[in-house]
Structure 1
């Protein structure tokens, strides 16, 4: 298997499902605890959706948080172990589905908002997903994306699009075989929206209160007429 590929991303998350569930439910990840979890909840609520598709929902924490406010949520993930845990915890309609399934039109629904919370890690899969987002959204529907801030995540690497090896630095020792990810510059992220018939309305840079640096970047876009 190519170590820098879409397939390797899914393979790695399958291997690390159990420690990830523990990390999320025990709130072990500082940036999430301090900033990014509430940031994406607030962003979604600002769009006032009645229905949401959570793409790459993992063990379902975001779906549960949104459901608690009265929103109807469908969550999808390619990792069966994560969906199993999401179903057990409740709060949404959870389905095993890969991005390839979505791109192929196997997911038939129409929602007010699609949210991708740190779940857009690949190259072709992300472009393909953007290409079908409009078919999943109601008129004036919203797409929300939270991802690592490119200026922070770039590190010492060249500031250019490309595959990067993954790392579990700072995570529990139970994690292994980290997933690769495809780095995009801020310009590349911004360009994805108009390329696929979406108007970028807002961009937020939630700050980590300890470092005073962006913990992430959140894009809010809307279907164009």
Structure 2
């Protein structure tokens, strides 16, 4: 990397650090639009400090939020919002079935072939699953969109300004699966699921349980 390139990256990192914002929270309204208007019950997997779980509860749903991070759950419980918070691993927790299940930036922490049937099993008949997930850049299209996302990230950060309040972000590791692999697994495990690529290295998956 040239010294000029290194300086540009360092300058961009300083700019982002001064104007942080949450890529996942950016899609909260979009996720809500994919769900039934007034679900009876809902589960937020990897709920973190509970920002989205509280938005779900505001629809009138009975909401459970689950996360493995005790500190995040403690912070969520202090805020309240009519949500039942659980410190547990979704793979081993004893949970109900729900009219709506949401997973935000969590699926990529699990093997894909394990995660998708697990999420399907948490739905009651007629229930809706929405996944906001991360994918690994693999194709030229992925990389071009990644460059677009970098530019869009700078623009959004500039518009939000330095002093915009920000909810602490959820811990998000790197994505392991390319989008083509995610589509293939969903076609097998969640027949009829709709997957759309979004900016900021994310996709949204919507599945309606028969």
TM-score above 0.5? yes
Match among 1, 24, 31 for residue 40 of structure 1: 31
Runs of 4 or more off by more than 6 Å in structure 1?
none
Match among 199, 202, 206 for residue 194 of structure 2: 202
Take 2:62 and 2:176, find their aligned partners in 1: how far apart are those partners?
A: 32
Take 2:27 and 2:52, find their aligned partners in 1: how far apart are those partners?
A: 11
Q: Secondary structure at the match of 1:95?
A: strand
Aligned pair in 2 of structure 1 residues 185, 108: CA closer, same or farther (>3 Å)?
same
* Contact 1:199/1:222 (8 A) holds in 2: no
Written as runs of structure 1 = structure 2, the 5 A alignment for 1:1-225 is 28-29=20-21, 31-32=23-24, 35-45=26-36, 48-91=38-81, 92-101=83-92, 106-124=93-111, 126-148=112-134, 150=135, 154=137, 180-196=173-189, 198-206=190-198, 213=199, 216-224=202-210
Deviations along 1:86-121, one digit per CA (max 9) or x if unpaired, are 1111121110111432xxxx3230101111011223
Deviations along 1:13-33, one digit per CA (max 9) or x if unpaired, are xxxxxxxxxxxxxx9415456
Question: Match of 1:22?
Answer: none
Alignment: residue pair count: 168
Q: Secondary structure at the match of 1:183?
A: coil
* Contact 1:117/1:146 (8 A) holds in 2: yes
Residue 123 of structure 1 deviates from its aligned partner by: 4.0
Structure 2: segments with no counterpart, 5+ residues: 1-18, 143-153, 155-167
* Contact 1:115/1:145 (8 A) holds in 2: yes
User: Which has more helix, going by share of residues?
Assistant: 2
Q: Secondary structure at the match of 2:192?
A: strand
The TM-score, its normalising length taken from structure 2, stands at 0.66
Question: Match of 1:11?
Answer: none
Take 2:139 and 2:24, find their aligned partners in 1: how far apart are those partners?
A: 23
Structure 1: segments with no counterpart, 5+ residues: 1-26, 160-169, 207-212
Take 1:218 and 1:38, find their aligned partners in 2: how far apart are those partners?
A: 12
Q: Secondary structure at the match of 1:29?
A: coil
Residue 138 of structure 1 deviates from its aligned partner by: 0.7
